Amino acid sequence: MEQEHKRRVRYKGTHPRSFQEKYKELSPDQYRADVEAIIQRGKTPAGMHIPIMVNEILDVLQIRPGQVGYDATLGYGGHTSKMLEQLGGEGHLYATDVDPVESEKTRARLESLGYGPDILTIRRMNFADLDQVAPGVKFDFVLADLGVSSMQIDNPDRGFTFKYDGPLDLRLDPTAGVTAAERLRELDEDELAAMLSENSDEPHAGRIACAVMRSFKRGGTIETTKQLSAVVEEALSFLPADERREAVKKSCQRTFQALRIDVNSEFEVLYAFLEKLPGVLKSGGRAAVLTFHSGEDRLVKKAFKQCRREGIYSRVAEEVVRPSAQECFRNPRARSTKLRWAIRA
Ligand SMILES: C[S@@+](CC[C@H](N)C(=O)[O-])C[C@H]1O[C@@H](n2cnc3c(N)ncnc32)[C@H](O)[C@@H]1O
């Protein structure tokens, strides 16, 4: 029987358009030089995450061989592998992530680098349960690099970005909880407006909430990232044309962020993490937290300062530490990062 001729998937050479077409970036081990060239151009290759403020974090944590640590947010394992290097083969590192898809890939990658269960324990857990990660063990150092990884943001199937069309999901763990699309259908107008303003300080929260409800009343659906960004655009149609484009982009960023915070209960889990943190640190143990928006930073700052006043921490960051201009140039995703640290009394 004659074989049906299948055309090859069209691939735009140096400018692949969709995430799936970026097969070189998605196989960095095979295409090392191409991936390096993308990083040099200040971009994050698809399927990868560039760790932020590595040197500043290592300065704070002062990791020594033989110590026991905890990386609350494994992600691509960039910080994890740097911390493992500091351990020099002695001691142990625990790491958690809620994302089943990416953490399995990271486990395999780190194992291929020689970091097996003898030195690294990876658990699929929420960092809100940090007291259950290694019961009975107290840590010399703890790192939390909050938020989402580049792999999660860039994959349109996860629905974290309005730049590409995809399902409006936004769950860090796509096997649990409700999607952002379901959440939008559950909320009434006032609740949605309050959520946008509390989670992201969205200045047009009321108008966006009103436009979402209007769209539902007209029988419209908001199931995809592009459908939601179209509604945000409609809500801001009152703005003068020359201001609109930038304003829509910013409001979309804040709206997606607010929804992500909501569906993943990000403030609640961060609060639980900060409350339990002193209880899992050894005396003299060090903690570092990277945040990416003012809501997160406010919580960390308040918790660290209060524990300092109560004598639970002997020292905390008086001022927030920011990435260098050089790092922000090399990796624009570092721009909004703030680092805070604390040392257990
Ligand atoms: C910014 S990335 C971490 C990147 C990582 N430091 C690296 O160098 O590759 C944040 C990661 O934390 C995970 N995460 C976010 N909230 C979490 C939570 N409450 N518990 C566990 N993991 C969480 C996300 O799934 C994501 O993989």
pLDDT, position 40:
72
Domain match, 232 and 285 both: no
The secondary structure of residue 337, as a DSSP letter, is -
pLDDT, position 151:
87
Ligand 1 geometric centre to CA of 240 (Å): 39
Mean pLDDT of 192-220: 97
Contact residues for 19 (Cβ-Cβ < 8 A; gap 6+)? 46, 154, 155, 156, 164
Domain match, 277 and 297 both: yes
Reported confidence tier of residue 47, pLDDT bands at 50, 70, 90: confident
Domain match, 224 and 311 both: no
Around Cβ 317, how many Cβ atoms within 10 Å? 20
Domain match, 211 and 233 both: yes
- Tokens found for residue 44: 């994050």
Considering only CA atoms, give the Rg of the chain.
22
Domain match, 72 and 211 both: no
Reported confidence tier of residue 49, pLDDT bands at 50, 70, 90: confident
Rounded Cα distance between 260 and 172, Å, is 8
3-state helix, strand, coil in the chain (%, to 5): 45, 15, 40
Residues spanned by the domain of 39: 1-48
Whether 297 is in the pocket of ligand 1, judged by its Cβ within 6 Å, is no
* pLDDT above 50: residue 2: no
315 to 143, 280, 310: CA distances (angstroms) = 16, 17, 11
Mean pLDDT of 308-326: 97
pLDDT, position 77:
97
Domain match, 70 and 136 both: yes
Rounded Cα distance between 153 and 127, Å, is 20
Domain match, 210 and 247 both: yes
Domain match, 301 and 331 both: yes
For the chain, give the number of residues: 345
The secondary structure of residue 179, as a DSSP letter, is -
Q: Specify if 222 maps to a domain.
A: yes
Degrees (nearest 5) of the Cα angle 260, 264, 269? Answer: 125
By alpha-carbon position, which residue is closest to atom 23 of ligand 1?
97
Domain match, 93 and 108 both: yes
* pLDDT above 70: residue 53: yes
Mean pLDDT of 294-299: 94
pLDDT, position 8:
47
The pLDDT tens digits for 221-234 are: 999 999 999 999 99
Q: Specify if 166 maps to a domain.
A: no
Whether 166 is in the pocket of ligand 1, judged by its Cβ within 6 Å, is no
* pLDDT above 50: residue 9: no
What CATH number should be reported for the domain holding residue 234? 1.10.150
- Tokens found for residue 164: 């590409």
Answer whether 106's CB lies under 8 Å from 75's CB. yes
Residue identified by tokens 């300062």 is 305
Answer whether 69's CB lies under 8 Å from 61's CB. yes
Question: Of 224, 243, 263, which residue is a domain's last?
Answer: 263
- Tokens found for residue 311: 């004598």
Reported confidence tier of residue 118, pLDDT bands at 50, 70, 90: very high
Reported confidence tier of residue 1, pLDDT bands at 50, 70, 90: very low
**Residue 284 in 3-state DSSP?**
strand
Question: Of 214, 247, 263, which residue is a domain's last?
Answer: 263
Q: Specify if 163 maps to a domain.
A: no
Ligand 1 geometric centre to CA of 125 (Å): 11
Question: Of 209, 243, 263, which residue is a domain's last?
Answer: 263
Rounded Cα distance between 145 and 107, Å, is 18
Mean pLDDT of 148-156: 89
Tell me if ipTM is over 0.85: yes
Mean pLDDT of the chain, nearest integer: 91
Whether 76 is in the pocket of ligand 1, judged by its Cβ within 6 Å, is yes
Q: Specify if 93 maps to a domain.
A: yes
Strand-pair partners of 68:
92
Least confident of 48-57, 151-160, 301-310: 151-160
Q: Specify if 229 maps to a domain.
A: yes
Q: Which residue has the higher pLDDT, 1 or 299?
A: 299
Mean pLDDT of 23-52: 73
- Tokens found for residue 321: 């530490």
In the chain, % of residues over pLDDT 90 = 81
Residue identified by tokens 């740097």 is 82
What CATH number should be reported for the domain holding residue 99? 3.40.50.150
Q: Is 238 annotated as a binding residue?
A: no
HSE-up of residue 32 (Cα within 13 Å, Cβ side):
1
Reported confidence tier of residue 24, pLDDT bands at 50, 70, 90: low
Rounded Cα distance between 342 and 286, Å, is 6
Ligand 1 geometric centre to CA of 17 (Å): 27
pLDDT, position 22:
64
Domain match, 138 and 69 both: yes
Q: Specify if 63 maps to a domain.
A: yes
Helices (H), 62-147: 78-87, 100-112
Reported confidence tier of residue 271, pLDDT bands at 50, 70, 90: very high
The atom number, within ligand 1, closest to the CA of 269 reads: 19
Rounded Cα distance between 26 and 19, Å, is 9
Least confident of 12-21, 32-41, 244-253: 12-21
Around Cβ 302, how many Cβ atoms within 10 Å? 11
Q: Is 77 annotated as a binding residue?
A: yes
The atom number, within ligand 1, closest to the CA of 290 reads: 1
* pLDDT above 60: residue 305: yes
Q: Specify if 332 maps to a domain.
A: yes
The pLDDT tens digits for 231-242 are: 999 999 999 999
**Residue 24 in 3-state DSSP?**
coil
Number of compact structural domains in the chain = 3
Helices (H), the chain: 32-40, 54-61, 78-87, 100-112, 150-154, 180-186, 189-200, 205-217, 225-235, 241-263, 266-280, 294-309, 325-330
